[in-house]
């Protein structure tokens, strides 16, 4: 297999790098926010950057041109995603949710009117989605969700609760999984609705995360009335749309590039920092751990290349997405453990301390990693998918 890029693709990489160097605002790096650390200011900075990407067709590069995308090849999208991640651009989960999860699902299942309403606005960076999946009693067993959408003459009345809803306090719309038929088996009575978050009856309550920031929320729906055209696809067929959107979520191209940057920073820190009169990089145990992180990250990159190949052939990854997601999850946790061991007690300090190393990033990434392997489906769920659909193992 040839993993090299064409001259045109390498030229595109250079174009992206030059543009990012020019357009990523210095204030973004000064704020030094990461995943799950949004503030009102960082949110405003990132939203402005999204619109700049949208002007070039780079915010939603896979979308058709008529909807504001670039119809970019899978390989170029891979390059773009890798460069955005490596440069730590202001592109976070809000873009993933709208552009890479919800948008493709609407393109697959939505009506012409729905595509025209939502897809160009996503591509421009004008609207943001939150994901209404998890409930207090429906997480890994997502098909057990109980939020109800009762059909009435002019639409649906929604009642229920969602939890761990990322950026619901900023989002314009919710991609909502609801139960529309409680009389059939749990997988067959689910429908997907797009709900305007400004609709009366919606209450958003903050859940403060492990980093002390407001990124997650509880969302309550009390007799929320939405019109008929909120339904995406066919009624009671939402499980299949939800499953497709989850495959998009697990098919990430960016984690290995983000990890590359972190590994580079750890290697440089180990070279420059002395312990007992010699650089940490001379410690054979540290060298071994860093080498292992590089090897595992290369495996993740090969997994990403496999997904690129599948998409390029017009196919949809399922088992392969879970394999990639599981591999990346395990790498992220192990890499953060390595980072904490290398930085030692200094790694515990937060970024506002004058003694913090690497801008306090390692401790924050370490805490963030606690949620990795939960969102998007737990590691146990990914292993079950691989075992059942990939290896053909029996259910019992």
pLDDT digits (tens, 9 = 90+) for 292-320: 999 998 888 888 888 888 877 877 778 88
Mean pLDDT of 110-131: 96
pLDDT of residue 2: 63
- Residues found in the chain: 396
253 band by pLDDT with thresholds 50, 70 and 90 = low
Cβ atoms of 253 and 77 within 8 Å: the answer is: yes
pLDDT tens per residue, range 174-195 = 999 999 999 999 899 999 999 9
Say how far apart CA 239 and CA 180 lie, in whole Å. 11
CB-based contact 249:101 (threshold 8 Å): yes
Q: What is the band of 59 on the pLDDT scale with cuts at 50, 70, 90?
A: very high
Identify the CA nearest to 301 among candidates 103, 11, 86. 86
Note the pLDDT of residue 79.
92
The residue to which tokens 């070039």 are assigned: 56
pLDDT in tens, 22-32: 999 999 999 98
Instruction: Please provide the average confidence, as pLDDT, over all residues in the chain.
Output: 90
Beta carbons of 290 and 338 less than 8 angstroms apart? yes
Indicate the CATH number of 7-91 among 1.10.540.10, 3.40.50.300, 1.10.340.30, 2.40.50.100.
1.10.540.10
- Inform me whether the pLDDT recorded for 155 exceeds 60: yes
Where do you find CATH 1.20.140.10 in the chain? 251-390
The answer to whether 138 touches 164, Cβ cutoff 8 Å, is no
CA distance 15 to 13: 5
pLDDT(250) > 70: no
- Bridge partners, residue 160, by sequence: 221
- All CATH 2.40.110.10 domain ranges in the chain, comma separated: 130-244
Mean pLDDT of 259-282: 90
Query: In angstroms, rounded to a whole number, what is the distance separating the alpha carbons of residues 222 and 200?
Result: 9
Given the DSSP bridges, would you call strands 173-179 and 129-132 parallel, antiparallel or unpaired? Answer: parallel
Torsion of CA 339, 343, 345, 347, to 10 degrees: -60
Q: With cut-offs at 50, 70 and 90, classify the pLDDT of residue 395.
A: confident
pLDDT at residue 171 greater than cutoff 60: yes
Predicted local confidence at residue 184, as pLDDT: 93
Start-end of CATH 1.10.540.10 domains in the chain: 7-91
70-100 per-position pLDDT tens digit: 999 988 988 998 899 889 999 888 888 899 8
pLDDT at 1: 57
CATH topology of domain 130-244: Butyryl-CoA Dehydrogenase, subunit A; domain 2 (2.40.110)
Q: Any idea which of 123-132, 219-228, 306-315, 328-337 has the lowest mean pLDDT?
A: 306-315
Is domain 251-390 classified as CATH 1.20.140.10? yes
pLDDT at 244 over 60: yes
* 370 or 144, greater pLDDT: 144
* pLDDT above 90 (res 242): no
- Least confident among 66-70, 132-136, 194-198, 359-363: 359-363
Q: According to the model, what pLDDT value does residue 255 have?
A: 60
């Amino acid at each position: 297999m040839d993993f090299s890029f064409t001259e045109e693709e390498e030229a595109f990489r250079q174009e992206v790098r030059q543009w990012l160097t020019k357009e990523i605002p210095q204030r973004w790096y000064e704020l030094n926010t990461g995943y799950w650390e949004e503030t009102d200011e960082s949110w405003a900075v990132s939203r402005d950057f999204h619109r700049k990407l949208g002007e070039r067709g780079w915010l939603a590069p896979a979308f058709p041109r008529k909807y504001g995308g670039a119809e970019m090849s899978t390989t170029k999208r891979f390059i773009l995603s890798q460069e955005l991640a490596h440069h730590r651009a202001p592109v976070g989960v809000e873009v993933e949710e709208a552009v890479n999860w919800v948008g493709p699902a609407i393109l697959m299942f939505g009506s012409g009117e729905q595509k025209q309403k939502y897809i160009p606005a996503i591509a421009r960076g004008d609207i943001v989605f939150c994901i209404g999946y998890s409930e207090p009693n429906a997480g890994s067993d997502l098909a057990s969700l109980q939020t109800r959408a009762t059909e009435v003459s002019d639409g649906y009345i929604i009642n229920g609760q969602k939890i761990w809803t990322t950026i619901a306090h900023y989002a314009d719309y919710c991609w909502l999984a609801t139960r529309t038929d409680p009389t059939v088996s749990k997988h067959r009575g689910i429908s997907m609705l797009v709900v305007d978050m400004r609709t009366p009856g919606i209450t958003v309550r903050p859940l403060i995360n492990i980093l002390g920031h407001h990124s997650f929320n509880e969302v309550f729906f009390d007799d929320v009335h939405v019109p008929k055209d909120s339904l995406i696809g066919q009624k009671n067929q939402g499980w299949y749309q939800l499953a497709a959107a989850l495959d998009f979520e697990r098919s990430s191209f960016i984690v290995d590039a983000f990890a590359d940057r972190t590994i580079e920073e750890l290697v440089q820190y180990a070279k420059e920092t002395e312990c007992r009169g010699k650089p940490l990089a001379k410690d054979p145990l540290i060298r071994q751990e860093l080498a292992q992180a590089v090897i595992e990250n290369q495996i993740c990159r090969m997994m990403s290349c496999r997904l690129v190949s599948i998409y390029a052939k017009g196919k949809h990854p399922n088992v392969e997405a879970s394999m990639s997601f599981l591999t990346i999850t395990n790498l992220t946790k192990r890499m953060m453990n390595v980072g904490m061991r290398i930085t030692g007690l200094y790694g515990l300090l937060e970024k506002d301390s004058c003694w913090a190393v690497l801008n306090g990033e390692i401790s924050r990434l370490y805490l963030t990693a606690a949620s990795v392997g939960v969102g998007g489906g737990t590691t146990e769920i990914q292993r079950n998918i691989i075992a059942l659909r990939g290896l053909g193992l029996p259910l019992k």
